[in-house]
């Protein structure tokens, strides 16, 4: 029987991306635009330069909504606006994150709350807000961007590691709770990717080499390396995939000695 899963034609699919104007998020935004999708992305800061780069390249111009995702009402309003303009959301990508590094002794109550309020809390409420739209369309895909820090311990960054670990397990919980609505929920787990968030490690020759030595594929990742995983998890090719951690890390997690 020829019933193989194939990549869904993502043209005209409505995609909502948090933190979609810079770093990994910008590459994901452009990746879905290149497939003909209708993309809404939110970001706390202006991103005029990125919008100028992509607005004339693809069939659809991205819809940018300036939004602080730590404000739940503003986040829900942005999702409602995207649904109103694009007629629903079938793919949600929770990418926005913050790595404000603080050691165990330094971490304050406010900084702990900030880590969870950016890296965990909004991802639940965005999923809650898009679920009715996905249900009305017969299903959808929610993709959370976690970190190898969600799977392994890393020093001097307890707030970030705890928040990403929480997101990893939230994904598995939501995969169960939303399964009856044909909504799949999965994680993409990046390793060391060349972004502003990792520039301190990249610019320190010792730290750079230590991280490179831990990888099986001997290079740091590019933001574009995450795009294929996102398209796969959004597409029909992953129709039997939910609740997983899709690790894109050059072999970091797999390596022993």
168-209 tens-digit pLDDT:
999 999 999 999 999 999 999 999 999 988 888 899 999 999
Cα gap 93→98, rounded to integer Å: 16
Cα gap 5→241, rounded to integer Å: 11
The lowest-confidence range among 44-48, 121-125, 177-181, 227-231 is: 44-48
Whether 192 sits among the annotated catalytic residues: the reply is: no
Query: Are the beta carbons of 97 and 22 closer than 8 angstroms?
Result: no
- Interval 156-169: pLDDT, tens: 889 999 999 999 99
Predicted pLDDT of residue 196 = 86
Backbone angles phi, psi at 51, to 5 degrees: -60, -40
Q: What percent of the chain stands above pLDDT 70? A: 97
- E strand or H helix at 245: strand 245-248
Residue 255 has pLDDT above 90, yes or no: yes
According to DSSP, the residues that pair with 15 across neighbouring strands are 39, 91
- E strand or H helix at 247: strand 245-248
Predicted pLDDT of residue 90 = 96
The DSSP output letter for 19 is T
Token duo for residue 220: 């740091």
Which of 58, 160, 208, 240 is catalytic? The answer is 160
- Interval 49-69: pLDDT, tens: 999 999 889 999 999 999 999
Backbone angles phi, psi at 21, to 5 degrees: -110, 5
- Interval 92-127: pLDDT, tens: 999 999 877 777 888 899 999 999 999 999 999 999
Token duo for residue 155: 């020093």
Q: What is the mean pLDDT of residues 230-238?
A: 95
pLDDT grade for 1, boundaries at 50, 70 and 90: very low
- Select from 53, 69, 71 the least CA-distant residue to 61: 53
Query: Are the beta carbons of 60 and 39 closer than 8 angstroms?
Result: yes
- Select from 211, 207, 210, 231 the least CA-distant residue to 221: 211
Q: What is the mean pLDDT of the chain?
A: 93
């Amino acid at each position: 029987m020829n019933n193989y899963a194939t990549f869904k034609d993502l043209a005209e699919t409505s995609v909502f991306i948090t933190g979609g104007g810079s770093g990994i998020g910008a590459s994901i935004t452009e990746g879905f635009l290149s497939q003909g999708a209708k993309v809404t992305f939110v970001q706390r800061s202006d991103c005029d330069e990125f919008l100028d780069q992509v607005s004339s390249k693809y069939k659809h111009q991205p819809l940018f909504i300036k939004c602080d995702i730590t404000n739940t009402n503003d986040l829900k309003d942005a999702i409602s606006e995207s649904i109103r303009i694009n007629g629903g959301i079938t793919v949600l990508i929770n990418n926005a994150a913050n790595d404000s590094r603080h050691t165990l002794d330094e971490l304050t109550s406010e900084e702990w709350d900030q880590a969870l309020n950016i890296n965990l809390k909004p991802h639940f409420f965005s999923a809650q807000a898009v679920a009715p739209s996905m249900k009305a369309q017969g299903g959808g895909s929610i993709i959370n961007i976690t970190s190898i820090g969600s799977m392994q311990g890393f020093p001097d960054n307890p707030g970030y590691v705890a928040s990403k670990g929480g997101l990893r397990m939230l994904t598995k919980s939501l995969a169960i709770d939303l399964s009856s609505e044909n909504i799949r929920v999965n994680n993409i787990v990046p390793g060391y990717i060349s972004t502003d968030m990792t520039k301190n490690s990249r610019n320190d020759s010792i730290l750079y080499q230590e991280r490179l030595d831990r990888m099986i594929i001997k290079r740091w990742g590019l933001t574009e390396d995450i795009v294929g995983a996102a398209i796969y998890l959004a597409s029909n090719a992953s129709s039997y995939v939910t609740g997983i951690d899709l690790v894109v890390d050059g072999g970091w997690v797999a390596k022993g000695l």
